[in-house]
Amino acid sequence: MTKRYKKCPITEALCEFQFISKEQWDFTIPGLIYEKVKKKFPIKQQQTGIEMQLRPTEKGFEHKVEPAPPRTQFFRKNRKALIQVAPDLFVVNHLKPYTSWARFKPLILDNFKIFKTVARPQGFKKIGLRYINKIDIKGRSIKLEDFFTFYPSTPPGFPREYSGFISRVEIPYFGDRDRLLITIASIQPEKPNITSIILDIDYIMHKPEAISTNSLDGWIEKAHSTIKNTFESCITDKCRDLFDGGNR
């Protein structure tokens, strides 16, 4: 985001790579990668995988972790960052507290280079840089327009209070080589008298092999710039006050 906030709303940042492969996946690859990353990511575990999904419930939309195809995960000792390896898939995750792009970007690029050296992928099928923000606002009845410029709207005459909501847009970039996905939704709050909202911003390259594996640096820099500008465009000054904003 363009400002550094004392109360950063980012709950997770991740960069996910899906690869085109003409060869059968070699199941020794996770072990070979672990040998190269274990000093920084010593905790190894097997997972059926995780996916962050917004799902409707009786209490409104909830941000849930759902099972995905099996993955091998390597965590830092503090479990605030991890890398995930699966057939033709590589993911770098940074959980809260998120620090800065200056630290997250090298985490992505350095570990991607290791994966590329070991796995030798043929090319990118898809890339996604994603930031998930959780924003807690005091009160159970709020005006969304006071805090956000992007929010669902209803026709005149409808009640202005929602028991739950979700709104999503997909915006093409570079002749639809890339897409920006913006999702805003209510989720079940962790504390009483709080409205909790997820603002999920995902910039993806969805055209296979649209860029080469040697062009990643420039792509993720553009993706991050688009995401940070989108975030600031989606919130109001009243929302920024929730984060105790200061200059980044």
Q: Which two tokens stand for residue 44?
A: 């190894």
Give phi and psi for 157, each to the nearest 5.
95, -15
Residue 247 has pLDDT above 50, yes or no: no
CB 27 within 8 A of CB 162: no
- d(CA 17, CA 62) in angstroms, rounded, equals 26
Residue 6 has pLDDT above 90, yes or no: no
Residue 2 has pLDDT above 60, yes or no: no
Percent of the chain residues topping a pLDDT of 70? 88
Q: Which two tokens stand for residue 141?
A: 């009845």
Task: Compute CA distances 146 → 30, 37, 137, whole Å.
Answer: 47, 45, 11
Confidence of residue 50 (pLDDT cuts 50, 70, 90): low
- d(CA 239, CA 235) in angstroms, rounded, equals 6
Name the residue type at position 7. K
Q: Which two tokens stand for residue 11?
A: 């709950």
Produce one character per residue of 186-200: b if its CB has 16 or more CB atoms within 10 Å, e if not.
Answer: bbebeeeeebbbbbb
Q: Which residue has the higher pLDDT, 61 or 77?
A: 77
Residue 215 has pLDDT above 80, yes or no: yes
Q: How many domains does the chain have?
A: 1
pTM for the full model?
0.89
Give phi and psi for 43, each to the nearest 5.
-90, 115
Q: Averaged over 226-240, what is the pLDDT?
A: 96
Q: Averaged over 199-225, what is the pLDDT?
A: 96
Range of the domain at 39: 4-246
Nearest to 91 by CA among 104, 73, 68: 73
Q: Which two tokens stand for residue 77?
A: 């000792």
